[in-house]
Structure 1
Amino acid sequence: MWQPDGWSERRIGVLTPHADVNPESEFNAMAPDGISIHAARVPLAAYKPGGIMNATIADDPVRAFADPPLVDDAAELLASAPLHAIVYAFTSSSYVRGRADDAKLRQRLETRTRGIPVVIPSAAAVAALKLLDATRLALISPPWFSAAMDEKGARYFEDSGFEVVHNGPAGLPSDQQAIRPSELFEWVHTHTPKSADAVFIGGNGFRAVGIIKALEDALGIPVLTANQASFWQAIVLAGSQVVIAAYGQIFSHRPPSDRA
């Protein structure tokens, strides 16, 4: 008799750059019935009105995005809603600031979220790769990452214990709104070396979750993306037992409860 009204028993928050619609779009695509997505927007200097972004993002606005007070205030405001987990949806600051800063950032934000757990995408990806027993990683960055930022991403994963057998920005248009799944699929499929035993597509603003299954079928190895790895960790921290089958092998594994 009643029509669906969108009410959910598990609610996941997302802290996203103010003009980036991709994190919540991909989370909504992956979310089954019973899980809802609720976003808060944080200013990022690399954006212009209408979602137009600098063709190459400089390190300074990326680093500043994770600085207090703006993201901390946004986390506190978002946490005033009855949420069960919050994702900090910004991969590139991990690359620029380093692995040790991720733990500090999570702890800092969690002091403002009333105990609601916070997920950091790159740290979630490391946890996922370890559960998948991956050792040799193909790292694909968005085309708006500079070569230097991509190299910092490679060092992030090397410092986490992985061998990076390929890294580089994807050779696609440097425009979030111009990314097409078919073109990204071909790029990743062509540029993933046979020595890789996993792929990570970084960048929460990089439209990628729709090609995960097709890539895993074509490559025969696990494929992770920033939003998928974050969502994987967030749903467990939120206390959900849902089964997600279409967005990668990682959803058949449960994240460890200890994220230290």
Structure 2
Amino acid sequence: MTALGLLYPGHSAEDDYPRIEQLLGSDIRVDVVHTDIGEDAHREDALLEMGSPERLAAGVEELRMGGAESVVWACTSGSFVHGWEGAQDQVRTLARAAGLPASSTSFAFVHAAQEIKAGRVAVGATYPDDVAAMFADFLRAGGLEVTGVKGAGIITAAEVGTWGEAEVFALARQADTPDADALLLPDTALHTVAHLPALEKELGKPVLTANQVTVWEGLRLADRRVNAPRLGALFTKEPIVQV
């Protein structure tokens, strides 16, 4: 059994994680501990406070006692808002507090894009334009080329959590660019897991979403690779060719 520990702010789309766990198979457990979201606002000052060391440390003990082998701060905006260096400091502090390998959703997007060899990415963000631009800057700091950024202007995670299939597909279509190797949909408050195969089929390219890459990052830290095609191209391993 491989146990993954996720620190998730508030309550919006955490039901994506049991769905992912079911699709991964019986020997992987995804444990979610909710952190205090503070003020629910896609605004720089509120996001900085949401991902403060004190808020993250409060949930670490429960994950450790549950046997987690890795811990991921399951929040995109609450990590990239610190910038590349600041987000690295955030993860290092989390790792020390947990005594476990640690990462965040923002770094998960960079690592996942590298995994599928997507050097050029388009971004469809639920955030206001200024916050979406900060995510694009983070991706560029990670060595990715950003071909386009579409922000939806939503202020709260609570509102994002109400989005259904129609809204997700509309954002994806608006954000995709022909020269992008993959489309990225940040925000762990957005329900996306049920739509991954259909999104990739419609766009004809890999789609990386926040809750998807968060779990993948936890598995990467735990040195596990899983073939689960219903979770998209990121979880679809090439078959091993016997020589």
Q: TM-score, normalised by structure 2?
A: 0.87
Moved over 4 A (4+): 171-174
Alignment match of 1:101 (pick from 82, 86, 92): 86
Cα pair 1:173 1:179 within 8 Å, conserved? no
SS in 1 for 2:59: helix
Report the CA distance between 1:77 and its aligned residue. 3.6
Report the CA distance between 1:177 and its aligned residue. 3.7
Query: 2:234 maps to which residue?
Result: 250
Report the CA distance between 1:21 and its aligned residue. 4.0
1:61-100 matches, cutoff 5 A: 61-100=46-85
The CA distance in 1 between the partners of 2:33 and 2:79, in whole Å, is 19
Query: 1:148 maps to which residue?
Result: 130
Report the CA distance between 1:172 and its aligned residue. 7.7
Cα pair 2:72 2:217 within 8 Å, conserved? no
Is residue 38 from structure 1 mapped to residue 20 from structure 2 by the alignment? no
Distance 1:172 1:43, change over 3 A: closer
Is residue 13 from structure 1 mapped to residue 8 from structure 2 by the alignment? no
Cα pair 2:91 2:103 within 8 Å, conserved? yes
The CA distance in 2 between the partners of 1:189 and 1:176, in whole Å, is 17
SS in 1 for 2:148: strand
The CA distance in 2 between the partners of 1:71 and 1:241, in whole Å, is 26
Cα pair 1:131 1:253 within 8 Å, conserved? no
The CA distance in 1 between the partners of 2:145 and 2:67, in whole Å, is 40
Which structure has the highest helix share of the two? Answer: 2
Is residue 202 from structure 1 mapped to residue 195 from structure 2 by the alignment? no
1:232-247 matches, cutoff 5 A: 232-247=216-231
Report the CA distance between 1:192 and its aligned residue. 1.0
Deviation readout 1:166-188 (Å, 9 max, x if unpaired): 11223789613420113311331
Q: TM-score, normalised by structure 1?
A: 0.81
Between 74-83 and 57-66, the greater mean CA deviation after superposition: 74-83
Is residue 186 from structure 1 mapped to residue 170 from structure 2 by the alignment? yes
The CA distance in 2 between the partners of 1:100 and 1:161, in whole Å, is 14
Alignment match of 1:27 (pick from 3, 17, 24): 17
The CA distance in 2 between the partners of 1:113 and 1:168, in whole Å, is 35
AA partner of residue 20 (structure 1)? H
Report the CA distance between 1:36 and its aligned residue. 2.1
The CA distance in 1 between the partners of 2:191 and 2:155, in whole Å, is 12
Deviation readout 1:11-58 (Å, 9 max, x if unpaired): 2221111x32413x21211112222222222112224xxxxxx5xx22
Cα pair 1:172 1:179 within 8 Å, conserved? no
AA partner of residue 27 (structure 1)? Y
AA partner of residue 36 (structure 1)? R
AA partner of residue 31 (structure 2)? H
Cα pair 2:16 2:211 within 8 Å, conserved? yes
**Aligned-residue RMSD, C-alpha:** 2.2
Cα pair 1:14 1:88 within 8 Å, conserved? yes
Cα pair 1:197 1:221 within 8 Å, conserved? yes
Alignment match of 1:59 (pick from 17, 25, 44): 44
The CA distance in 1 between the partners of 2:72 and 2:80, in whole Å, is 17
Any gaps of 5 or more consecutive residues in structure 1? 1-8, 48-53, 255-260
The CA distance in 2 between the partners of 1:171 and 1:185, in whole Å, is 16
Cα pair 1:172 1:184 within 8 Å, conserved? no
Any gaps of 5 or more consecutive residues in structure 2? 239-243
